[in-house]
Amino acid sequence: MELGLAGRRVLVTGAGKGIGRGTVQALHAAGARVVAVSRTQADLDSLVRECPGIEPVCVDLGDWEATERALGSVGPVDLLVNNAAVALLQPFLEVTKDAFDRSFEVNLRAVIQVSQIVARGLIARGAPGAIVNISSQCSQRAVTNHSVYCSTKGALDMLTKVMALELGPHKIRVNAVNPTVVMTPMGQATWSDPCKAKTMLDRIPLGKFAEVEHVVDAILFLLSDRSGMTTGSTLPVEGGFWAN
């Protein structure tokens, strides 16, 4: 299915690893012009070698002022993937202020800031666009030790809907993708223990975790004009976890 992404300028956050890196690679292969944002320079350096021509931007999105400096003059962007996230897992009674603040700064506040930069540019140009927020199956189901992470993703789902409501009149679509566990470096750090993994796999009817490409395929569809009547949605890529 032709997605028509060639020549489009796409900004991807959290581009250094996992889902973000896979998204950059797929967009580059599709002929898109990619702005790759990561806080880790080494990841960007290796990504540039893999995908010549992408534009790397190294910034910690948890720093509002640094993000404004790095992306405030990024130029015209047609499509945005808000993928950057942290997963700082603690039992509820042990949640710290630092973990709470860092989680909401990166998982929610940065989405607002980067989306504002991109959307304002689209509106000023009178151009249509699409934004995809990477949420989680944990946005709608409770998971032990994930109280802050689940909260950030639940908030992100609602933010997605409000963004869709307010940006729709400007022909900007906004959707979320809600994956199950994906065996990225972050997923491996959290779910590599077989006993822990079994507790999650037992709740997934398909009986397996997702591969990066499963999530990337959903992202590319929602970025493309093939999903031109879809906005405000949360697209599960979770093997039936929500049906359980």
Residues 166-205 have pLDDT tens digits of: 999 999 999 999 999 998 877 887 788 889 899 999 999 9
Give the CATH number of the domain where residue 62 resides: 3.40.50.720
Domain extent for 72:
9-182+211-236
- pLDDT tens-place string over residues 1-18: 789 999 999 999 999 999
Q: What is the pLDDT of residue 163?
A: 98
| Domain count within the chain | 1
Establish if 170 belongs to a structural domain. Answer: yes
**What is the pTM (predicted TM-score) of this model?**
0.95
Establish if 83 belongs to a structural domain. Answer: yes
Establish if 202 belongs to a structural domain. Answer: no
The reply to whether 149 belongs to the active site is yes
Establish if 193 belongs to a structural domain. Answer: no
Establish if 201 belongs to a structural domain. Answer: no
Q: Catalytic pick from 3, 32, 44, 149?
A: 149
- pLDDT tens-place string over residues 201-244: 999 999 999 999 999 999 999 999 999 999 999 999 999 999 98
The DSSP code sequence of the chain is: -----TT-EEEEESTTSHHHHHHHHHHHHTT-EEEEEES-HHHHHHHHHHSTT-EEEE--TT-HHHHHHHHTT----SEEEE-------B-GGG--HHHHHHHHIIIIIHHHHHHHHHHHHHHHHT--EEEEEE--GGGSS--TTBHHHHHHHHHHHHHHHHHHHHHGGGTEEEEEEEE--B-SHHHHHHH-SHHHHHHHHTT-TT-SPBPHHHHHHHHHHHHSGGGTT--S-EEEESTTGGG-
Q: What is the pLDDT of residue 104?
A: 98
